Amino acid sequence: MSYGTPSPEPARRSVLRGSLAATAALSLGSAGALAGTAPALALAGRPRAAWGVQAGDVTATSGLVWVRSDRPARMLVETAATESFRGARRWYGPLLGPGSDFTGTTALRGLPPGEQIHYRVTLADPDDPRRTGEPVTGTFRTAPAQRRDGVRFLWSGDIAGQGWGINPDIGGFRAFEEMRGLNPDFFLCSGDSVYADGPLQPSVTLPDGRIWRNVTTEEKAKVAETLDEYRGQFRYNLLDHNVRAFNAQVPSVVQWDDHEVRNNWYPGQILDDPRYTEKDVDVLSARALRAFSEYYPVSTLRPRGAEGRMHRVVRYGPLLDVFVLDMRSYRNANSPGRQADDATGILGAEQLEWLKRELSRSRAVWKVLAADMPLGLVVPDGAANFEAVAQGDPGAPLGRELQLAELLRFIKHRGITGTLWLTADVHYTSAQHYAPERAAFRDFAPFWEFVSGPLAAGGFPANALDGTFGPERVFVRAPQRANLSPMESPQYFGEVDIDGDSGELTVRLRAEGGVVLFTKTLRPGLVGQ
């Protein structure tokens, strides 16, 4: 990925395969229209942005804009207050080439807070700036400077997993179109944004005899190992017209979990999996992170940098700070989780200190902890090991629970209010309330954790609860059997609505089809809600 900056003057591939390649190609060809432009000019030598545009990590005065070209090109961005682009400001972005898979991101700074920003991306021939492709448009709202404006966002995760890809018979990833219709300020993708370890078959027969059909590509026919195969995982989701239309209207805050690399991975792992010729997970995760950084606009992932990191704070005005956690890159090995001393945990010592420091500095009314894994839900890894924090022992903290206990104790003793945990990962939706009077470990203030997902993947039964931190499952909606397809079970996403006048935060757990399953309103500055 490359970043561009404003400048007074500019400096001087994918082939679809598989049984439904024609459908995929047709879907891809509509990208220009869905992004709000006329059909692309099919003039030889002019670069095209058929994969759409997207914005990310938007704050009150800044944002990132992403695009992918079909050939070497210079990225140009214009921003304006209206769709007419009268009085537009121009930003000269990076040169897009094979080193970044023809993707690039331009950083926009000095934007007006609390305003609708219209942007237009044009790709120019690097050797002849007069030869430009058809512009592709998008829009986003900057974070408000005033509390009274309020904030509303959506979250979910788990996209194209368990063998369920883009199905043209049901209209593709339909939940994205439903979310777009709600017109949120932004979307928090809580991980498993792709399934690099989940090959797709052209068709799958469901238990009731119906046939699920997948759009297929060469890269989705096997597990990803090479950099190009990982890039193909991210390109796949952009074949869906719902995703492209959503990206053009709603900016995202994206984090990763395991399936961007490989199921249940941890640093230092050596695979015993015959599907992989590359057994070193550190090699695979480095390739996956590079592809991730090329295909998502993330403020802390610098172009081709070795020190890029996923964890960050996205400050969205006086009402909200989003603390994006990375519970994958710094964790220790998955284990039974019964050790009495664990300095590494699931966040790593350095990230834990960063999180404490940033929580202490935050002046936002609400502090959303965007976790890529749940806290008190027992997520196994095989017969004896565990994947998340909880390990099924309801007693005093052990293993990774020790790090969570340290964080919760810190939040209580520093008097940090307004913390709220959001996650996906387990492929159902639920609400858990954690309270010390129900817990084995009691030195913490009560808090809520909300789970939502999948967005376009298989549904699974609810996980067991671990009693160490006293969770109570207030609501759950989950299938009764494993891996229900999106034709058999609705997809789930959550909504957070913060009222600008009262500061109250309302969480709605939603099911595809316009259904609100559960609602909870929290008051600012209170403990034990």
Kindly give the confidence (pLDDT) of every residue in the chain, 529 residues in length, as a single tens digit, with 9 standing for 90 and above.
Answer: 444 433 333 332 232 333 333 333 334 434 333 333 333 344 567 999 999 999 999 999 999 999 999 999 999 999 999 999 999 999 999 999 999 999 999 999 999 999 999 999 999 999 998 999 999 999 999 999 998 899 999 999 999 999 999 999 999 999 999 999 999 999 999 999 999 999 999 999 999 999 999 999 999 999 999 999 999 999 999 999 999 999 999 999 999 999 999 999 999 999 999 999 999 999 999 999 999 999 999 999 966 544 589 999 999 999 999 999 999 999 999 999 999 999 999 999 999 999 999 999 999 999 999 999 999 999 999 999 999 999 999 999 999 999 999 999 999 999 999 999 999 999 999 999 999 999 999 999 999 999 999 999 999 999 999 999 999 999 999 999 999 999 999 999 999 999 999 999 999 999 999 999 999 999 998 765 6
Dist. CA 430–CA 423, nearest whole Å:
10
* Ramachandran quadrant class, 340 (left: phi over 0; alpha: psi -120 to 50; beta: rest): alpha
Cα dist. 334→164, 427, 430 in Å? 27, 20, 25
Residue 508: strand pairing partners? 495, 519
Dist. CA 246–CA 173, nearest whole Å:
11
Q: Which residue bears the tokens 């160490």?
A: 468
Q: What is the pLDDT, as a whole number, of residue 357? A: 98
Q: What is the pLDDT, as a whole number, of residue 308? A: 84
CB count, 10 Å around CB of 265? 24
Dist. CA 372–CA 327, nearest whole Å:
6
Structure tokens at 284: 């695979």
Q: Which residue bears the tokens 């070209």?
A: 69
Q: What is the pLDDT, as a whole number, of residue 17? A: 30
Q: Which residue bears the tokens 């797709």?
A: 200
Structure tokens at 491: 């997809």
Q: What is the pLDDT, as a whole number, of residue 307? A: 58
Whether 336 contacts 386, CB under 8 Å? yes
Question: What predicted TM-score, i.e. pTM, was given to this entire model?
Answer: 0.92
R_g of the chain, CA atoms, integer Å: 22
Q: What is the pLDDT, as a whole number, of residue 72? A: 97
Q: Where does residue 209 rank: exposed (0-12), middle (13-18), buried (19+ CB within 10 A)?
A: exposed
Dist. CA 55–CA 300, nearest whole Å:
14
Among residues 330, 286, 294, 291, the alpha carbon closest in space to that of 311 is found at: 330
